[in-house]
């Protein structure tokens, strides 16, 4: 069965072949019209009049006012040539305009070939918008939407999606611009036809998805009215060359090799050393000290024994079937050792050494990738600090082992950031399932890790630092598969032009346009952390917090001043303060002094005993209309910090035992004892911070963003 | 000599008297025109035609196309009445239009009194903008500017200034909106006449400043073209009532009483107690334990001796001339004790008790204010945690004394926030000159404190938490006097609608519109902290950092990944990465590995020894073209954290001894030892943070914002 879409596709395919055959990359206006018609993209009615009588005929058929434009392959700037007349109506006017245009064009360019005059319907006034599609270096075909004119050009009020989009996604774009209200009609103006506008977006996105060779499509402007959306102009540009397809692994292949990497039975350390200060020494010591229960086989041609274990001259001599070869040798020796790893049939190589693409040694990196592909070895790195799989007690890094197993997997493209992850996790006692360095990402990258951690039962949350994505679409696919199961936090470095430039000098990666990254990461459901510290704090807090089941957030505070700042933070983080129903208000009021303020925040006032905190927190957990609690504690003699912490943890635990789990976060204002109280609370499932009203609410906001993206709150992605 | 301004003022005064006499609050269009003409506010030429011949005459005089509008006190909606015709030209058209309008108006409202038809010049097309003035509850007369239409209404792209503005301030408003570029001409459109537009703003601001009884002026729209800026419409609204003037103190009076409050010889504690758990007990103990060297006189009618000091039945019995009476008695006893304080001639009362306006007891608060004014006592509070003047070892609070004297004075409106200040300062060893609770601000408020701390030689920086300002103009005045001498950080709580509502329930204060606060605080040169933690961190960092003398910031980093994030932070904080000249680039390159990246960030790479950090930091301090350094440290075995900290502190100190002081901030990525290294660096003048690339740059950004506001960097306010 041939559908209209198939027919349209065939028509465009034939047209593009002609254009290519002529060696052109830009389509003419009539060709653009053909493409638009083939995809049902609404454009003004038009026809090419070869003589004045045809012009009169076509103008009459189109009805109303028309625009006449010269059509000549030799005249690019039609207006300069006097080749455009707007608002012509009736036979006499059309005749006169036709002649004027042709004469003007001839006078402007006497040798120009003139194909005729285009007679085009004049569009009614309406809201000008722009619909376009571009080829992003990271994400491929991307569709864009914005209001026309200054809003796009000066205020950059544009939104992006991966092409193709569904009708729903296209509609969501209308709401994603800052000036979205305008489309709904402001100052008495009528709303535009949203369906028609969304269709223009959807059809453009389908066109570029069907034809990868189309580099760019621009409908600028589209005139949107209450009765439709018509593109006044369509511009189509073809690409010079097609991007090289990256080698793909199936989901099963990824999971198989990742399982052996993250849960190995046997590892071999190539370049293991007895010499203090060498990386091969640190890695061996950390593997042993970390308590890895599998086999550890050092490889060193110059030693018989490394740190009490038999050393082998070559990885070929290692007994059994190692799952991982960890490289701690200089870059120049990697290739030959990797050949041996391949011959030995080891599926994973962890390449700690630097001295590859990041120092300009691109050929060396290409060589090891070639060897790995030939043998089917997956590479982690090179240029990394190693990796740490805590539940296996596998500390294959040059940093000392870490003693708290937990739910968050952290990855970083940069070694420095990896060290910050380690230090932060250690000092805050963050529960970690894995820490992985990605470095140059010569092979394994974020989408492989997401695929694994998405399945890993020890991992409840994934946090990733990245400077670029090798394949944005593969990442989005992995993220969309993972997010419904667990939150994914992303710190995208190189957000700003200066940052992107710095990333360029660092990894040689082309940092994509941040606006595209931002929209598409959001669409994929990941939580974007604005900075390093936020990424670390979200990683620490998200696995601790239960998932909210609704939008009603209530603040209970002993300090009115904290209540105000917490309310600001609620708004900043896109959360909603619950409108407290009268009966609930009365119930809270029963516990607080007459001059305290119920409502929301519930201000229990500062001089209250522990029982007031306890009674109000109990009520907040008990009432099913409340979905999350934000506590503001004020240090007083009557209720010291640890008393507050203990009662809060006890009540939360009691409700949890009854099956009532709500996220509870707390801001503690007080003297230094509040720090201990916060640590106590955090370890018991209450996300608590001292000296800040912002951080606890930001953590709650991140959890809500995830719950929404995962479809657990009713809201869409 | 009578100036044009004086004459204009007289004309407006006379007009407003007439309007008031008629009991109206809105001016008619012709009255608006009179006001505009009196102040040189450009409006279209116009005249009131009482008959058709006059209309023809006036239209001819104005030239070009005109607009005709009905003038009737009984017709408010002229268009609905068919009372407006646009674009009329020539005698015949004017005659026809005049008749049509009058007939339509009569048909619409047969009883309407018709004064005639206004003949108004039709303005040319141009950029529509809005110029207005309103009366803000906090700041009084405020002038506003924005682009017309959706940009103002949907995107809220408006900027505010205190009225009156100078010509320079008015011009700065044109650059303060997000869409500022539009006024300079985009997409081939010509730039508007900036001078003419700024004059419209300046003149409106002068008008409302001259006439406090004008509540609101609206020029909407003003049509700005390359040749001028003309208000198509002027609307003037009078206020129903005038605000009550607040009692003012002279600068000298403020300094005199503040000096006795902050540097007292003798204090009396009313309600001093031997009973543990009482506030009067804590305050006495903290005064004594804090080591205050002046006299401390407890007052308690029921005891002879409090904590080893003679107690007095009444403050009247206390020997000498106490400078401060500290109240630690219940609210209901405050009034009578305050009478005695007044009779004793004590100039300052510190009112710790709560139970006044914040609990709805407005009458009680009014009573104590009346007593204080009668006796000339200045009040701090009520409803506060007290105050702490560290250089006097005067800990008049219910929190235990704090042991680090330093340069920052911190104030808070809320007790909870005050406790957070205390805990944060203690744990981070922040050097503090004073901590002051302001509570209900029945008398002393932020402007009094700013005035004092601006003069206090022990204070280098002032940080204030506030929910409202009693008198925005007095605050701005105090801030403008202080900022050239030292930085002022402000955390304005209640930024959001939810926060403002919470502030309402907390203090009963009407939180002003945050957009107005934001613009006017920025104009006054204060550094606005986005949240509590930022306020605290700025307070800690600003006194430590030297003032930069230019805009050239250089990043030196061992971790390329940190370099990228630090670059992002540079942009986020409005700083500028220096473009490194070739000779300087070569000089840096001499110290770093060949694969390291010079440029900016200067990436020295991760495996480098201490000497590479030292050589590059030295060069950064030595070269006079560089004004500030941002260091990115990466924990390695080769350069451990404390080695980096010691070398950095040593080099910075060496240059300081040579008179070269530049701000140096550092982000330390590494294992937990980096925390100790950061504390070491902070104590030696290098603002350093672990696990974050954002905080050190935010602190540097705050210092730069201040330096700019203080006029130390060439940039204006």
Determine the 3-state secondary structure of A170 from DSSP: helix
Cβ contact A561–B282 (<8 Å):
no
- With cut-offs at 50, 70 and 90, classify the pLDDT of residue A514: confident
Compute the 3-state secondary structure of chain A and give helix, strand, coil in percent, each to the nearest 5: 40, 20, 35
Distance from CA of B576 to the nearest CA of A (A): 9
At A351 the pLDDT is 97
- Taking only the tens place, the pLDDT of each residue in B381-416 is 999 999 999 999 999 987 888 777 999 999 999 989
Cβ contact A564–B506 (<8 Å):
yes
Q: Are residues B169 and B480 in contact, defined by beta-carbon separation less than 8 angstroms?
A: no
- With cut-offs at 50, 70 and 90, classify the pLDDT of residue B676: very high
Residue A258 clears pLDDT 90, i.e. is over it:
yes
Determine the 3-state secondary structure of A639 from DSSP: coil
Which DSSP category does A331 fall into? Answer: G
Burial of A52 (0-12, 13-18, 19+ CB in 10 A): middle
CA distance B272 to B376: 24
Which residues 422-461 in chain B show a CB within 8 A of chain A? 422-424, 426-427
Q: Average pLDDT over chain A, rounded to whole?
A: 92
CA distance A572 to A455: 33
- Mutual angle of helices B641-657 and B673-683, in 10-degree steps: 10
- C-alpha separations of B620 from A501, B507, B545, B646 in Å: 21, 50, 16, 17
At B358 the pLDDT is 87
- With cut-offs at 50, 70 and 90, classify the pLDDT of residue A472: very high
Query: Which among B154, B495, B536 is the nearest to A179, CB-wise?
Result: B154
- How do strand B461-466 and strand B488-492 relate by DSSP bridges? parallel
Determine the 3-state secondary structure of B585 from DSSP: helix
pLDDT over 70, % of chain B: 97
Which residues 25-84 in chain B show a CB within 8 A of chain A? none
At B402 the pLDDT is 77
Which residues 504-523 in chain B show a CB within 8 A of chain A? 505-507
Query: Which among B181, B499, B672 is the nearest to A154, CB-wise?
Result: B181
At B11 the pLDDT is 93
Closest CA to B390 of B402, B379, B381: B402
Helices (H), B248-361: 251-262, 279-290, 334-344
At B124 the pLDDT is 86
Please report residues of A whose CB lies closer than 8 A to that of B533.
691-695
Strand arrangement, sheet containing B405-412: B394-397, B386-389, B432-437, B405-412, B461-466, B488-492, B527-528
Question: Is the four-CA dihedral A615, A616, A618, A622 of positive or negative sign?
Answer: positive
Cβ contact B607–A577 (<8 Å):
no
At A454 the pLDDT is 97
Structure token pair of residue B611:
């000497």
Average pLDDT over residues A692-715: 92
Which DSSP category does A262 fall into? Answer: H
Please report residues of B whose CB lies closer than 8 A to that of A501.
567
Query: Which among A498, A606, A695 is the nearest to B567, CB-wise?
Result: A498
Residue B509 clears pLDDT 50, i.e. is over it:
no
Interface test with B, best of A149, A179, A397, A560 (most B CBs within 10 A): A560
Better-scored residue on pLDDT, A202 or A63: A202
Cβ contact A691–B420 (<8 Å):
yes
Helices (H), A137-276: 150-153, 167-176, 194-210, 251-262
Cβ contact A414–B496 (<8 Å):
no
Distance from CA of B410 to the nearest CA of A (A): 14
At A6 the pLDDT is 87
At B511 the pLDDT is 39
ipTM of the complex: 0.90
- From B353, which residue of chain A is nearest by alpha-carbon distance? A607
Which residues 254-293 in chain B show a CB within 8 A of chain A? 277, 282
- From A414, which residue of chain B is nearest by alpha-carbon distance? B561
How many contacts, defined by CB atoms under 8 Å, are there between A and B? Answer: 305
Q: Average pLDDT over chain B, rounded to whole?
A: 92
- Taking only the tens place, the pLDDT of each residue in A325-349 is 999 999 999 999 999 999 999 999 9
At A17 the pLDDT is 93
Which residue has tokens 């601000």? Answer: B441
- With cut-offs at 50, 70 and 90, classify the pLDDT of residue A56: very high
At A504 the pLDDT is 62
- With cut-offs at 50, 70 and 90, classify the pLDDT of residue B2: low
Cβ contact A562–B400 (<8 Å):
no
Determine the 3-state secondary structure of A187 from DSSP: coil
Interface test with A, best of B568, B593, B606, B674 (most A CBs within 10 A): B568
- From B177, which residue of chain A is nearest by alpha-carbon distance? A155
Structure token pair of residue A536:
């670390």
Cβ contact A671–B503 (<8 Å):
no
At A505 the pLDDT is 47
At B245 the pLDDT is 67
Which residues 597-626 in chain B show a CB within 8 A of chain A? 597, 599, 601, 603, 606-607
CA distance B664 to B650: 13
Closest CA to B533 of B308, B361, B699, B304: B699
Question: Half-sphere exposure (CA, 13 Å, Cβ side) for A581?
Answer: 8
Q: Are residues A465 and A417 in contact, defined by beta-carbon separation less than 8 angstroms?
A: yes
- From B537, which residue of chain A is nearest by alpha-carbon distance? A691
Residue B690 clears pLDDT 60, i.e. is over it:
yes
Which residues 631-690 in chain A show a CB within 8 A of chain B? 632, 634-635, 637, 669-675, 690
Please report residues of A whose CB lies closer than 8 A to that of B493.
561, 564-565, 568
- With cut-offs at 50, 70 and 90, classify the pLDDT of residue A1: low
Whole-model pTM: value is: 0.91
CA distance B250 to B474: 11
Which residues 398-427 in chain B show a CB within 8 A of chain A? 398-400, 412-417, 419-420, 422-424, 426-427
- How do strand A127-136 and strand B84-88 relate by DSSP bridges? unpaired
Cβ contact B561–A412 (<8 Å):
yes
At A203 the pLDDT is 97
- Taking only the tens place, the pLDDT of each residue in B578-610 is 999 999 999 999 999 887 767 899 999 887 899
Average pLDDT over residues A666-688: 97
**In sequence order, what DSSP letters do the residues of B346-366 get, joined into one string?**
--EEEE----SGGGT-HHHHH
The distance of Cα B2 from the centroid of its chain, to the nearest Å, equals 37
- From B638, which residue of chain A is nearest by alpha-carbon distance? A277
Query: Which among A153, A424, A595 is the nearest to B359, CB-wise?
Result: A595
CA distance B465 to B458: 20
Structure token pair of residue B377:
């006592």
At A5 the pLDDT is 83
- Taking only the tens place, the pLDDT of each residue in A155-195 is 888 999 999 999 999 999 999 998 899 899 887 788 999 99
Cβ contact A505–B560 (<8 Å):
yes
- From B596, which residue of chain A is nearest by alpha-carbon distance? A359
Which DSSP category does A34 fall into? Answer: H
Q: Are residues B120 and B46 in contact, defined by beta-carbon separation less than 8 angstroms?
A: yes
- Taking only the tens place, the pLDDT of each residue in B645-665 is 999 999 999 999 999 999 999
Distance from CA of B500 to the nearest CA of A (A): 7
At A506 the pLDDT is 44
| Domains within chain B, CATH numbers bracketed | 45-122 (3.30.1490.20), 127-238 (3.30.470.20), 250-384 (3.40.50.720), 404-543 (3.40.50.261), 552-709 (3.40.50.261)
At B714 the pLDDT is 62
Residue A95 clears pLDDT 60, i.e. is over it:
yes
CA distance A550 to A663: 11
Phi, psi of A581 (to 5 degrees): -65, 160
Query: Which among A179, A496, A597 is the nearest to B150, CB-wise?
Result: A179
- From B504, which residue of chain A is nearest by alpha-carbon distance? A564
Q: Are residues A668 and A679 in contact, defined by beta-carbon separation less than 8 angstroms?
A: no
Closest CA to A379 of A346, A403, A402: A346
């Amino acid at each position: 069965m041939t559908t209209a879409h198939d027919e349209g596709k065939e028509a465009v395919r034939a047209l593009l072949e002609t254009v290519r055959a002529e060696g052109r990359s830009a389509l003419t206006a009539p060709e653009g019209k053909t493409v638009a018609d083939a995809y049902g993209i609404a454009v003004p009615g038009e026809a090419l009049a070869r003589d004045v009588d045809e012009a009169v005929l076509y103008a009459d058929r189109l009805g109303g006012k028309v625009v006449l434009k010269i059509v000549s392959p030799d005249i690019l700037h039609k207006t300069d040539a006097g080749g455009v007349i707007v608002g012509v109506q009736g036979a006499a006017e059309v005749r006169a305009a036709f002649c004027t245009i042709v004469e003007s064009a001839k006078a402007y360019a006497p040798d120009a070939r003139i194909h005729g005059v285009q007679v085009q319907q004049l569009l009614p006034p309406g809201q000008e918008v722009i619909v376009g599609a571009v080829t992003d270096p990271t994400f491929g075909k991307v569709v864009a939407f914005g209001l026309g004119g200054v809003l796009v050009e000066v205020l950059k009020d544009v939104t992006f999606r991966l092409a193709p989009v569904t009708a729903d996604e296209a509609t969501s774009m209308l709401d994603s611009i800052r000036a979205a209200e305008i489309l709904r009609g402001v100052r008495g103006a009528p709303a535009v036809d949203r369906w028609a506008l969304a269709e223009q977006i959807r059809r453009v996105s389908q066109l570029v998805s069907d034809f990868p060779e189309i580099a760019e499509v621009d409908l600028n402007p589209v005139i949107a009215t209450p009765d439709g959306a018509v593109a006044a102009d369509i511009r189509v540009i073809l690409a010079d060359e097609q991007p090289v397809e990256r080698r793909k692994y199936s989901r099963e292949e990824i999971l198989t090799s990742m399982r052996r990497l993250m849960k190995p039975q046997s590892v071999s350390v190539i370049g293991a050393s007895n010499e203090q200060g060498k990386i091969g020494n640190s890695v061996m010591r950390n593997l042993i000290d970390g308590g890895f229960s599998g086999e550890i086989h050092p490889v060193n041609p110059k030693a018989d024994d490394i740190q009490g274990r038999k050393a082998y001259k070559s990885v070929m001599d290692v007994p059994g079937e190692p799952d991982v070869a960890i490289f701690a040798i200089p870059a120049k020796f990697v290739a030959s050792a990797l050949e041996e790893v391949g011959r030995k049939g080891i599926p994973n190589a962890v390449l700690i050494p630097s001295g590859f693409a990041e120092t300009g040694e691109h050929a060396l990196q290409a060589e090891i990738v070639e060897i790995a592909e030939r043998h089917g070895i997956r590479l982690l790195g090179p240029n990394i600090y190693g990796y740490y799989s805590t539940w296996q007690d596998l500390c294959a890094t040059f940093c000392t082992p870490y003693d708290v197993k937990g739910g968050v997997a952290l990855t970083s493209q940069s070694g420095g950031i990896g060290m910050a992850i380690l230090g932060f996790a250690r000092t805050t006692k963050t529960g970690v399932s894995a820490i992985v360095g990605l470095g140059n990402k010569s092979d394994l990258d974020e989408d492989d890790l997401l695929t694994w951690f998405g399945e890993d039962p020890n991992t409840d949350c994934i946090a990733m630092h990245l400077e670029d994505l090798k394949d944005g679409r593969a990442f989005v696919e992995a993220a969309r598969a993972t997010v419904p199961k667990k939150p994914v936090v992303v710190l995208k470095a190189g957000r700003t032009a200066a940052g992107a430039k710095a990333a360029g000098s660092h990894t040689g990666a082309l940092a994509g346009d941040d606006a595209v990254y931002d929209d598409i990461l959001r669409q994929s459901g990941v939580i974007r952390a604005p900075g390093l510290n936020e990424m670390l704090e979200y990683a620490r807090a998200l696995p601790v917090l239960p998932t909210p089941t609704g939008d009603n957030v209530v603040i209970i505070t002993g300090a009115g001043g904290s209540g105000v700042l917490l309310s600001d933070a609620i708004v900043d983080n896109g959360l909603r303060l619950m409108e407290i129903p009268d009966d609930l208000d009365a119930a809270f009021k029963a516990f607080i002094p007459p001059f305290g303020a119920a409502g929301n925040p519930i201000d229990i006032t500062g001089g209250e005993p522990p029982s007031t905190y306890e009674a109000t927190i109990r009520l907040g957990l008990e009432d099913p209309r409340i979905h999350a609690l934000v506590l503001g504690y004020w240090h007083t003699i009557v209720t010291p910090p640890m008393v507050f912490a203990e009662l809060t943890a006890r009540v939360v635990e009691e409700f949890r035992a009854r099956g009532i789990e709500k996220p509870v976060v707390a801001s503690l204002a007080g003297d230094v004892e509040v720090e201990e109280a916060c640590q106590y609370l955090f370890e018991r499932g209450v996300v608590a911070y001292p000296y800040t009203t912002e951080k606890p609410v930001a953590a709650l906001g991140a959890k809500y963003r995830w719950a929404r993206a995962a479809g657990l709150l009713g809201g869409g992605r």
